[in-house]
Amino acid sequence: MAAGTTFVQGRATCHNNASGQHSMLFRLQRHAASIRSYSGLNPSRKAELRQEAATTCCRVTSRSSVSRATVNAIAVDAPPVENLETCPRGAHWQVHKFGGTCVASADRLREAAQLVCSDLAEQKVVVVSAMGSHPTSLIKVTDVLLNMVAKASRQDEGFLLDLAAIQEKHVETAKLLLVEGHALNSFVSRLLDDIANLKAMLRAISIAGMATEAFTDFVVGHGELWSALLFSATVKALGYDCQFMDTREVLVVTPTSDGNSVDIQYGLSNDRLDAWVRKNGAPEVIVATGFIAKNPLGQVTTLKRNGSDYSATTIGALFQASQITIWTDVDGVYSADPRKVPEAVCLPSLSYHEAWELSYFGANVLHPRTTLPAMRYSIPIAIRNFFNLAAPGTQISDVILDIQTAGFQTVKGFATIDHVALINVEGTGMVGVPGTASTLFSAVRDANVNVIMISQASSEHSICFAVKQVDADRTLHCLHERFNDAIRSGRIHHIEAIDNCCILAAVGQQMASRKGVSATMFSALAKSNINIRSIAQGCSEYNITVLIDGKDSVRALRAVHSRFYLATLPLAVGIVGPGAIGGTFMRQLQQQKEALGAEYNMDVRVLGITGSRQMVLSEHGINLEEWEEQYTGQAEPVDMARFADHLANSYIPNTVIIDATASEAPPALYLQWMQKGIHIITPNKKLGSGPLDQYLALRHFQRESYIHFFYEATVGAGLPVIATLKHLVDTGDRILKVEGIFSGTLSYIFNMFSQDKPFSDIVTEAKALGYTEPDPRDDLAGMDVARKVTILAREAGLNLELGDVAVQSLVPAPLQNVASADDFMQQLPQYDADLAQQVSEADAAGECLRFVGVVDCVQSSGSVELKRYPKSHPFAQLSGSDNIIAFTTQRYQQQPLIIRGPGAGAEVTAGGVFSDLLRLAAYLGAPS
């Protein structure tokens, strides 16, 4: 009777230490288990336990969404209890499972044993894997055992060397753990006997030149036997009552129909557990072998891949334990593979169904079947990091507990299955014909091919399904054979395989009650320029599965994960051209970094900076306060392909290149960059005014994808010229004319030009102030304005080439080919008279001279010329280097729409680039 009391109190302490999140409902489960398990309890104690369970029931149902019916179902009496000669099952048992890395050396085995002994649970079962790899011994026992079988099958006697290495690893470990004495001698004696048996078995395999599955299972299971014996001896050496359990004496399994897993025979296994207890008793600690079992015929077999975890949950179900803890080398189950998504988070809790779905779709912490035995008895599974005991891990339990502790996170995690082929079967003869799908999948089953996902159009015109890439050819062959007549008659048009695909799954039990989950996921993929080939979703909505191109696997995973899990919008930036504009932009970005995070939920990181000769790359972001030092001190030779790949393959799903150059080289790469999923922002005019076919190809790709090309700063620096023109066109206004002073340099020159001051003196003054290019002819020739006219003309719907724009150059013809800028400036005064006469004539007529660009949409033409305007005209009112643009449209015909302001300079141009960056962020999901 006292034992029952001790177990309830002691287990409560232990469980509160393990996980306080689910304590009340677990306490209820524990009370129910104690009532079921201890037939010897006197009526008064049994009544006390029932009252405590009832009290806990009230507390649980009052604090959470758990239904009283669910709680009562936990607390009811079980069927008739076992007699005294059966295993004392119940919540006083705690199961610990240690993976191969946790028992890979003597030190780790000792630490694991100490961890188990420190558990306050009344009784513990420990399940161990074979010893894994460790710096002191790189041998991974299970892998070596499998290789030994393979070598023996090939009649390669190298298996003898492997066998000797395994023997040495275990003997050395035993010496470090057990020192001298009976325990060491006993283990080494057992090990040598096993080694002798294995050698005989492997020689037989070598003689036969083949190995049956039964022989392989017999050989490969020895790793768990030896590690369990070592663990058991270590626990005994620490002074605890401990017994070794060879699970081949307890677990009975039968293979599944596909041969890839096994089903537990619970009736037979429970009987054998009772027999084992009658023979060995029920000690404080039982150390059991993972991975191995027997079939009903008594033949040795295994629990297949990840069988040790499956063994642990099966043992937990047989003992009806209160918790199963799986110790591994990661902190728990993550929201995505952290190797692919560095910002993945460790999930505090999962439901059984969520864990099953994630493991099915590739999350490698648990095998899909691992959760099934625990679900049978509602036993929580804790995934903990043996090497980081401070990490709370992930608790896998019933969904009701999960809701109570984890809130309402709609999507719990994302996983991918790579190397998949999509098989597509189409034909009008399939419509309305019963049994077509049955025939199809029967053929696939007969070919021993597993179907991963299925999607069918409601019209029944096509059925597509995914299989592993290695099974694609076999699947096509079997379908062509089965449907040969239908193909020849035309009822089925074709059967094809789309290779190199990937399955991406979003998993979450709460998706069923939330609207817009699919839309959010699909939008995240679309905005990353990822095409969805097929979609599957069950009515339970535990997962949404899409099939995409294999090359997009990692980018897709990062895109959907960031959309659901990151509070901020991550944006990776590459700067091409860290000169005046690029450098100013980075300074502005650094100054606004905190504000971007606070106001726009943006996390902008510059991952690369490149010039024409050198570049610097960073995985996690360049410190913009020190970018110049990094660019000069850590630079490497420029490689534009590597620069683009670095951005495209970064862990940040949203990437943008900012081309802050005036060179023709980067624009030639824009389309390639966009095809990699990289957005483009630029003040560079060379693409917008370059060859028309190149421009149209890029704009076509932009419209067909979710990749953006922003170029506001190409015409008016920070002025909203392009945006205004787009707004007018998009709202249906008809553009008649766009006319403006687009050059800050020429604006300054003609604002200052008068009869009192020669033209050459003003050019000299503008050059000294830094308003002109180093060679002023670049400004005076008018080609910069012509490029802006070409850009605006194309934006207004005219397909003009740069050469179609008529340009009046202000460079005198004799000076166009002068060798240097200095020679040009020395000879320019010789030509002042002509412009002086023009300004005099204009002034006499009450007008002024202005160098303007004109887009005439009525005449479908563009021009750059020196024109006269009345001094009352808005163009005559400018000062300094301001720009001014007038839009004459059907709506703004009597009074043109005017935009005026600074149109040149690094500050305002960088500001225009920054504005485009914010527009891009708004498109990608940042608050606007």
CA 902/CA 470 separation, integer angstroms = 62
Helix (H) or strand (E) holding 128: strand 123-128
Helix (H) or strand (E) holding 273: helix 266-280
Token pair of 599, please? 């106001």
- List, in sequence order, every residue forming a beta bridge with 381; answer none if it has no partner: 324, 396
The torsion angle over the Cα atoms of residues 585, 591, 593 and 594, rounded to 10 degrees, is -170
Per the CB < 8 A criterion, the answer to whether 1 and 45 are in contact is: yes
The torsion angle over the Cα atoms of residues 571, 576, 580 and 585, rounded to 10 degrees, is 0
What is the secondary structure of 441-499 as a DSSP string?
HHHHHHTT----EEEE-TTSSEEEEEEEGGGHHHHHHHHHHHTHHHHHHTSS-EEEEEE
Nearest to 499 by CA among 526, 529, 477, 470: 470
Residue 148's identity, in one-letter code, is M
CA 485/CA 470 separation, integer angstroms = 26
Per the CB < 8 A criterion, the answer to whether 847 and 871 are in contact is: yes
Helix (H) or strand (E) holding 885: strand 882-889
Token pair of 796, please? 């207004």
Instruction: Kindly name the residue from 151, 236, 686, 788 that is annotated as catalytic.
Output: 788
Q: Is 788 a catalytic residue?
A: yes
Letter string b/e over residues 88-97, b meaning 16 or more CB atoms within 10 A of that residue's CB: bbbbbbbbbb
What is the secondary structure of 131-188 as a DSSP string?
---BTTB---HHHHHHHHHHHHHTT-TTHHHHHHHHHHHHHHHHHHHH-SSHHHHHHH
DSSP 3-state of 388: coil
DSSP 3-state of 64: coil
Checking DSSP bridges between strand 253-255 and strand 262-264, what pairing results, if any? antiparallel
Cα 347 to Cα 98, 337, 344, 630, 852, distances in angstroms: 20, 12, 9, 37, 62
List strands edge to edge, sheet with 806-807: 806-807, 861-870, 847-856, 735-741, 882-889, 897-902
Contacts of 612 (CB under 8 A, 6+ apart): 638, 663, 665
Residue 171's identity, in one-letter code, is V
- List, in sequence order, every residue forming a beta bridge with 678; answer none if it has no partner: 655
Other CB atoms within a 10 A radius of the CB of residue 181 amount to 9
List strands edge to edge, sheet with 453-456: 453-456, 462-468, 413-426, 494-507, 543-549, 532-537
CA 744/CA 396 separation, integer angstroms = 66
Per the CB < 8 A criterion, the answer to whether 709 and 702 are in contact is: yes
Please report where in the chains the tokens 């309830």 appear, as a residue. 8
Cα 376 to Cα 23, 75, 317, 318, distances in angstroms: 20, 16, 7, 10
Token pair of 395, please? 């608790």
Q: For helices 68-75 and 43-63, what crossing angle results, to 10°?
A: 160
Per the CB < 8 A criterion, the answer to whether 578 and 609 are in contact is: yes
CA 704/CA 671 separation, integer angstroms = 13
* Residues with a known catalytic role: 788
